Amino acid sequence: MNLNWLIRRNRFKNRAKTEKREWQWPAFVTEWRRYARRAALIALTSGALAALGWALDRPVQVISMDGSFQRVSPGQIEQALVPYAHTGFMSADLDRIQRSVEALPWVMHARIQRRWPNSLHVTVIEQTAAARWGESGLLNTRGELFIKAAAHVPAELPRLSGPEGTESQVAQRYMSVQGRMLEAGMRIAALRLDERGAWEMDLDSGVTVRLGRRDVDERIARFIRTASQVIAHRLNDIAYVDMRYSNGFAIGWRSPAAPAPTPAKRPDDTDA
């Protein structure tokens, strides 16, 4: 027997066996199976989460709330939450509920929280009225007009007024001045800005201070520093103090016979 022929025959057999053992699935089939396993895992996880969410999304049965409740009543809040009475614990849209509560008059901010297992908690922060605007509007401490026509206006609030859209400007001037006026023993009862841009303020003593359109802060400082000292003992006799002078002021007396100091210069006609 030819030995070389046997060796070649065995070599072919071994190669055939080796090729048979190393055969694999095509690459695209392997990738498809891998993606299929991933998709099945994602679907299973999503289904489990959906089932868990459905189990947890029980109807809200309790609504609790806290706040000062001086201007806002719990009944008003409950009324604002009526459209969400049958919402689910997990599906409740907290942002929409918050906007509904904050739409109530006197509500500055509301916070809505879920509380396990079936309740919502509402925390309400009320507006603080710093001044009245016009006849019945109310401004908060940021100078925002939060109520245009209040049913009840606290009598102790100062009255601010001005053209439409100037609420913040007038409020900021009032808040920048009121502290200095209080330190000087005076209180602002009203502050006005007219259509021409001229300012006036009324003191709680009944005296009107005319400030004009220019150098308003400087004139207020000069009034506190000098004019207030002059008029301090005769407030009941004085109708107004005119600060629209470059280096002085004029006093208008309630009685025409009362004397008045002569200002250093005439007021600027363009500022009168």
Local confidence band at 155 (pLDDT 50, 70, 90 cut-offs): confident
Give dist(CA 152, CA 75) in Å, integer: 19
* Percent of residues, the chain, with pLDDT higher than 90: 59
Residues 183-236 have pLDDT tens digits of: 999 999 999 999 999 999 999 999 999 999 999 999 999 999 999 998 988 988
pTM over 0.85: no
Give dist(CA 104, CA 112) in Å, integer: 15
Residues 7-45 have pLDDT tens digits of: 455 555 555 455 555 555 566 556 666 766 776 667 656
Query: What is the reported pLDDT for 96?
Result: 95
Residue 63 CB contacts under 8 Å (≥ 6 apart), including other chains: 78, 81, 119, 120, 121, 122
Beta carbons of 213 and 271 less than 8 angstroms apart: yes
Give dist(CA 81, CA 96) in Å, integer: 10
